[in-house]
Structure 1
Amino acid sequence: MLQVNDVDLFYGAAQALRGVSLEARAGEITCVLGRNGVGKTSLMRAVVGQQPVRRGRIALEGRDLGSSAPYRRARSGIGFVPQGREVFPLLTVRENLETGYAPLKRSERSIPAHVFELFPILKSMLGRRGGDLSGGQQQQLAIGRALVTRPKLLVLDEPTEGIQPSIIKDIGRAIRFLRGEGIAVLLVEQYLDFCRELADRVYVMDRGQIVFAGVGADLDDPSVRAHLTV
């Protein structure tokens, strides 16, 4: 579904990514792990088009995305749940979900039933403002909004950050459901146990590079864990 090949990314003179390559397959959960500041969020921004790359190639279903803008990538099937959720605090839950209509054809502009099946709390709060929700509820709303776009690839940047355990379990169940629907899930996380339970494929980053690539079971390897400890 997604191929990232030999990508370099800079912020001014500072290099954030160095020759990064990875892939995320349809019907699989791919986790990217690493300590703070190693380039995980920069990689996600490159994938969704928020930050241009200086060198390398990013492709979706074999089609080079080049320098295409984020809205074009959303239309091509990339859904994004950013770190910090970024819901619209003054819009209602329904209106927040409906902002996911932007990349869709008019005939497709509806909220899929599985959004409320995965996160039933959202259906009971459709008239409440996004800013009045708890952090965990906002995270569910942010994921629901991304699902409204009917993504082929769902990119999640640290969805468990600051979230209570019960909602982390709900998010995990939702991600497993999406894998079963054939969606490719690219997940950035620091919560090792969450990735261990979910990951089909894992990549570990350090200093802007991929230092390990393997399967979920490899997260118990001491040499891998050494890159994740502070």
Structure 2
Amino acid sequence: MLSVESIDLHYGAAQALKSVGFTAEPGQVTCVLGRNGVGKTSALRAIAGQQPVSAGVIRWEGEDISGLTPYKRARKGVALVPQGRDIFPLLSVRENLETGFSVLPRSQRKVPDAVFELFPVLKSMLSRRGGDLSGGQQQQLAIGRAIVMKPRLLLLDEPTEGIQPSIIKDIGRAITYLRNTGEMAIVLVEQYFEFARDLADRFAVMDRGEVVLSGAREDLEEEAVRTHLTV
């Protein structure tokens, strides 16, 4: 289980997160909701180790990982699909997927069949450069690359941003499939309530760097959540 416990995060003198806490369990999706700029991405960066926390603890599978480098966290099964996707534009689709091998022992360095079952378009584009793909295809590639890492904790930062509706549905189905395997805890950062509502088992709603609402899906009132999503 992931346990984020009262973490603070600063960028210089500016405080981005204030005593933020939430959990994520295998076989469940925890959705972190909020407007742009409220600290959702900072929370994921803290979990992945890309930004150090100034207070609080991040525990993964019972271990305090707050001081570990991003690479060591990845070796422990933590995978981040960042906002903006960050694929390698000059590498082929196959090569982009194979960058996920870096945290795996040689005996496990194989692209899982599930990647192509979830995103069939990638199989037909293995030799194409990542930069030649559409935005939606790049998002599928970024998620596929994370799956290659065989993560036990998957962090998704606004995977629907700028994506056409048909691919949003594909991404939703992929998240549902990964959750239903029961092998992976998923943290999904979103600002679109409808997409999150259909996927999440738990919610944490953020505003101005703090978690202002949290709980199980059935316990949160839609109207209360939406007040923190409207501009």
**What is the TM-score normalised by the length of structure 2?**
0.98
Report percent identity of matched pairs: 66
Note the C-alpha offset of 1:216.
2.4
Aligned to 1:88: 88
Contact 1:2 1:58 in 2 (8 A): yes
CA distance in structure 2 between the aligned counterparts of 1:117 and 1:148, rounded to whole angstroms = 13
CA contact (8 A) 2:193 2:226 kept: no
C-alpha distance in structure 2 between counterparts of 1:223 and 1:204, whole Å: 10
Q: Does 1:221 align with 2:222?
A: yes
Gaps of 5+ in 1: none
Counterpart code for 2:26: A
Q: Superposed, which structure 2 residues align to 1:129-148 within 5 Å?
A: 129-148=129-148
**Contact in 2 for aligned 1:17/1:39 (Cα 8 Å):** yes
Residues 84 and 219 from structure 1, CA distance in 2 versus in 1: closer, same or farther, beyond 3 angstroms?
farther
Structure 1 residue aligned with 2:73: 73
Over the residues paired in the alignment, what is the CA RMSD in angstroms? Answer: 0.9
Structure 1: how far apart are the matches of 2:224 and 2:81?
A: 30
Alignment of 1:1-230 (within 5 A): 1-182=1-182, 183-218=184-219, 220-230=221-231
CA distance in 1, matches of 2:35, 2:217: 18
Tell me, in whole angstroms, the C-alpha distance in 1 between the residues paired with 2:6 and 2:166. Answer: 38
Using the alignment, how far apart are the partners of 2:137 and 2:222 within structure 1? Answer: 34
Q: Per-residue CA shift, 1:28-57, capped at 9, x if unaligned?
A: 011000011100000000000000001100
Q: C-alpha deviations, 1:81-123, integer Å up to 9, x for none?
A: 0000010000000000000001111111110010000000000
2-side partners of 1:221 and 1:130: how far apart? 38
**Kept in 2: contact 1:219–1:225 (CA 8 A):** no
TM-score in terms of structure 1 length: 0.98
The count of corresponding residues between Structure 1 and Structure 2 is 230
Q: Assess if the C-alpha contact under 8 Å between 2:93 and 2:130 holds in 1.
A: yes
Aligned partners of 2:53 and 2:66 also within 8 Å: no
Distance 2:219 2:189 in 1: 17
Deviations, residues 52-73 of structure 1 (Å, cap 9, x unaligned): 0011000111111031111111
Give the superposition deviation at 1:221. 2.9
- Does the 8 Å contact 1:218/1:224 carry over to 2? no
